[in-house]
Structure 1
Amino acid sequence: MNSLPDPTPDDPWAPLRAATPAPIGLGRVGTAPSLSSVLTLRAAHADARDAVWTPPDWPGIEQGLTEAAIPWLSARSQAPDRATYLLRPDLGRLLAADSRAAVAGQRANYDLSIVLVDGLSGAALTHHGAALARALFAWGRRRSWRLAPVVCVSQGRVAIGDDIGATLGADLAVVVIGERPGLSAADSLGIYLTFAPRVGRMDSERNCISNVRPGGLPIDRAAELAEAYAVAARQQGLTGTDLRVELPNSAPTHSPGVGGAAASARRHDGGSGTGTPSLPSSGSAARKE
C-alpha cells in the first residue's frame, strides 16, 4: 500500500519550546487552551505557591555547611510568621532582637559575610542553598579572606544582609536568597552583593546575580561571577550602578550593562523566575530594599 502523507503540519513553536521551559506555543482547542496546557499551568501555579509557603529544610542545609567545615548560626527577622512576612516586607529587612544579639556575639573584622535567606522560595534554598554557599566560601578561603560564619535567616528579605553585615563588622555582604517563583521556575536563587553594608542601603547600591539554578545559571558559574563582583567591589570600594567589573570570559563592562535588565532595581520578591539564565546586573532605582 502507498503510505499517505502526514496531514499534521510541522509545529513552528517546537524549536522554541525545546530551548526553554517557559510556556511558549501552548496550542488550543477551538478558542480554548488545550487540556494539557491548562493542567501544566495549574501544576506550575501549585509549585509556585508551595515554594512561597514551604520553609527551607534548615537542618539539611546546616548539615551541608557543617560537612564542609563552614561555621554557621541561625537567625530570624522581625516577621513572626509567614503571613506577616508577606504582608510586612519591612519586618523582613531587620533582625529580631535575640538574633541581633547572637550575630553581634560573632562580631569581628571580616572581609566577607555570606547570608542564606529563605526569601520567597524555601524550595530554592533547600535544593541549592548549601551548594552555593560552599562554592562562595571556597573562593573566599582560596583568597585568604576573613570569612564570617554563614548566617541562616528565616523570614528574611534582601536588605537583612545590610543589618547582618553591619552587625558582624563585614566589609562586604553577599546575600543568597530564594527568588519569587514563576510559572516555569520555582527554585531560583538570587545573589545580592553590598559593599559596606548598613541599614538604609538603596537597591542602586547593590549588584545582583539572578536565576541561579541547574536549569538557569549554574551554581559554579554563579559563584565565579560573584567572586569577580566581590573582588571588584573591594578594589573600588563600592557596589551598585557605578561598579566596573571585568567578568570571567568577557570584556570589561559597567555593571548596569551586563545582562540588560536592571535586576537589582527589582525587589527580590520580583525575581526573574523566567526559566532563562540571567547574567549579573544592577539597577538605577534609588529605593530602599
Structure 2
Amino acid sequence: MKLNKDQTFPAQPHLDVWQKLKQFTDARIALGRTGCSVPTKALLEFQLSHAQAKDAVYQSLNIDHISDQLKQLGFETTHVESCADNKEIFLKRPDLGRQLSETSRQKLKNIQLTSNFDVCIVIGDGLSARAIEENAIPFVHQLHTYMKQENWTLAPISIATGSRVALGDEVAQIFNASMLIMLIGERPGLSSPDSMGIYYTWQAHVGSIDSERNCISNVRTAGLSIEIAAQRLFALMKKSKQIQRSGVALKDEHQIPVVEQHQKRQLFFRDSSND
C-alpha cells in the first residue's frame, strides 16, 4: 500500500483579495481561510448572526414599553391581536396572522369615533419584534411632524401582535381611514435582525391585494435611515391623496439629497479585521 505524505497547512489565515471591500458591506465576503476551512472567527460570527436572527423571530414585542413611549409623545394607542395567538401558530399559519381575533375586532368597533380619519398607523411585531422596538417610535415621531403640515387626522395607533402585513387592512377599514401605514418587523437576515418594513395602502380594506401597496424596506441604523424613510413615505402619501390610488399606480418619485459623508459608515457588525 502506498502512503501519501501528510500535508501541513500554514497556521496564519489566508486573506482574501476582496478584503478591502468588507468596509462597504455586511455581506459575508472575503472571509479568508485556514487550510481548507473558514477561520474560527468567521465561523463564530456566523453562528452569532444565526442566533440573533432566530432570537428576533421568537422575541415577544414589549407592548407596554411601546405603548408608554407613544403616550408620552401624545398619541392614543390600543393593543390588538391576530388569530395566531402564539409563535408556533404564527409561523405555521400565515393566514391567521392576517386576521384580527374576534376580541380585537370588537374592541376596535367599541372605540368611540367622532369622525373618519385620514391616517391609520398599525405597529406589528411581524418576524422581528426587535426591529419594531428599535425603529417604530422614532419613525412615528418623525412622520407625525410631516403629517401636521397637512393637518391630517390620525386614528388611535394600533399595536398588533402575531401580525402579518394584511392585518392592518381591517383596522383601517374599522377606523374609516383613507391611508394605512403598516410598520412591521421584516424577516431577519444574517446581517439584519433589526430591519423594519413600511407598507402603505390607500383605502385599505379586507381583501386588499399586494399590488395595492407600496413598500419601503430595510429601515434600520445600518440601512435606510428613519429620516429618509419618513420623507419618502410622506411624499408617497401626498401623491396618493391626489390620485386616490396606491400600489402599482403610485410611483416613488421622492428625490434623496446627496449628503457628503464626513464619518465612516457604521455597519451593523463591526469589522475588526484591521484592528
Same-fold call, TM > 0.5? yes
Give the corresponding residue for 2:159: 152
Task: State which of 27, 42, 54 in structure 2 corresponds to 1:49.
Answer: 54
Task: State which of 118, 143, 150 in structure 1 corresponds to 2:150.
Answer: 143
Offset at residue 105 of structure 1 (A): 2.8
Max radius of gyration: which structure?
A: 2
- Is 1:112–2:119 an aligned residue pair? yes
Distance 2:84 2:139 in 1: 25
Three-state SS of the structure 1 residue aligned to 2:247 is coil
Task: State which of 199, 202, 208 in structure 1 corresponds to 2:209.
Answer: 202
Three-state SS of the structure 2 residue aligned to 1:165 is helix
Task: State which of 4, 15, 34 in structure 1 corresponds to 2:20.
Answer: 15
- Is 1:100–2:105 an aligned residue pair? yes
Three-state SS of the structure 2 residue aligned to 1:133 is helix
Root-mean-square deviation (CA, aligned residues, Å) is: 2.0
Q: In structure 2, do the counterparts of structure 1 residues 203 and 8 end up closer, same or farther at CA, with 3 Å as the change threshold? A: closer
Give the corresponding residue for 1:229: 236
Distance 2:127 2:106 in 1: 25
Instruction: Answer yes or no: is the 8 Å Cα contact 2:16–2:30 preserved in 1.
Output: no
Identify the range of structure 1 (35-44 vs 102-111) with the bigger mean alpha-carbon deviation. 102-111
CA deviation digits over 1:24-60, x for unaligned, max 9?
1111122211111110000000000000001122222
CA deviation digits over 1:156-185, x for unaligned, max 9?
000011111111110010000000000011
Structure 2: gaps of 5 or more residues: 1-11, 258-267, 269-275
- Is 1:65–2:70 an aligned residue pair? yes
Three-state SS of the structure 1 residue aligned to 2:155 is coil
Offset at residue 230 of structure 1 (A): 0.9
Distance 1:219 1:118 in 2: 18
Distance 1:231 1:206 in 2: 15
CA deviation digits over 1:233-259, x for unaligned, max 9?
111111111213431347xxxxxxxxx
Distance 1:31 1:9 in 2: 10
Q: In structure 2, do the counterparts of structure 1 residues 60 and 145 end up closer, same or farther at CA, with 3 Å as the change threshold? A: same
Three-state SS of the structure 1 residue aligned to 2:215 is strand
Distance 1:156 1:26 in 2: 37
CA deviation digits over 1:51-81, x for unaligned, max 9?
0001122222112111110111111111111
Identify the range of structure 1 (240-249 vs 138-147) with the bigger mean alpha-carbon deviation. 240-249
- Is 1:188–2:195 an aligned residue pair? yes
- Is 1:26–2:31 an aligned residue pair? yes
CA deviation digits over 1:214-249, x for unaligned, max 9?
110011111111101111111111111121343134
Give the corresponding residue for 1:240: 247
TM-score by length of 1: 0.81
Instruction: Write out aligned runs for 1:170-185 (5 A).
Output: 170-185=177-192
Q: In structure 2, do the counterparts of structure 1 residues 125 and 8 end up closer, same or farther at CA, with 3 Å as the change threshold? A: closer
Three-state SS of the structure 2 residue aligned to 1:32 is coil
CA deviation digits over 1:89-124, x for unaligned, max 9?
001111111111122234541111011000000111
Three-state SS of the structure 2 residue aligned to 1:59 is helix
Three-state SS of the structure 2 residue aligned to 1:241 is helix
Instruction: Answer yes or no: is the 8 Å Cα contact 1:228–1:248 preserved in 2.
Output: no
Instruction: Answer yes or no: is the 8 Å Cα contact 2:125–2:163 preserved in 1.
Output: yes
Paired residues, what number? 246
Q: In structure 2, do the counterparts of structure 1 residues 176 and 8 end up closer, same or farther at CA, with 3 Å as the change threshold? A: closer
Give the corresponding residue for 2:171: 164
Distance 2:64 2:18 in 1: 43
Instruction: Answer yes or no: is the 8 Å Cα contact 1:58–1:126 preserved in 2.
Output: no
Distance 1:103 1:19 in 2: 46
Give the corresponding residue for 2:86: 81
Instruction: Answer yes or no: is the 8 Å Cα contact 2:15–2:33 preserved in 1.
Output: no
